[in-house]
Amino acid sequence: MCFVMPKPEFVTAACGRDVCYAWKMAYKDVEVYGESVEEVKECFIKAAQQEEVLLSTMGRLFCITNVFTDDESANSYMLQNENEAVIAVKGKRVYLADKNDTGYPLT
């Protein structure tokens, strides 16, 4: 599984006589809106990383499959799930990604 950046979608919402327009991006539990494609993409990347759905490392964006707070649990899990591997360790958190995920280039 290789992460594919969702495409921004132009949406409208009506409330009485008022109509609002915005750009929307959504992936898993992350949904953001913005006034431009650039704004919504930037907000989406930030929100997805804060929600630990995506992780930026090595100039690429990866889909996180699991997060652990200790090495022992991560190692035990990986022994049972051979298609996942450590993509990064930040602080006391171990982030796993699919071995086939080559990441989405950020530049």
- Looking at residue 86, its pLDDT comes to 96
Answer whether 93's CB lies under 8 Å from 69's CB.
Answer: yes
**Domains of the chain: which residue ranges?**
1-51, 54-100
DSSP 3-state assignment of 50?
helix
74: enclosing H helix or E strand: helix 71-80
Percent of the chain with pLDDT over 70: 99
Percent of the chain with pLDDT over 90: 85
Mean pLDDT of 24-52: 95
pLDDT confidence tier of residue 1, bands split at 50, 70 and 90: low
Token representation of residue 52? 């630990």
pTM across the whole model: 0.82
In the predicted model, is pLDDT for residue 107 greater than 80?
Answer: no
pLDDT digits (tens, 9 = 90+) for 39-80: 999 999 999 999 999 999 999 999 999 999 999 999 999 999
Q: Which is it for strands 60-68 and 104-105: parallel, antiparallel or unpaired?
A: antiparallel
pLDDT confidence tier of residue 16, bands split at 50, 70 and 90: confident
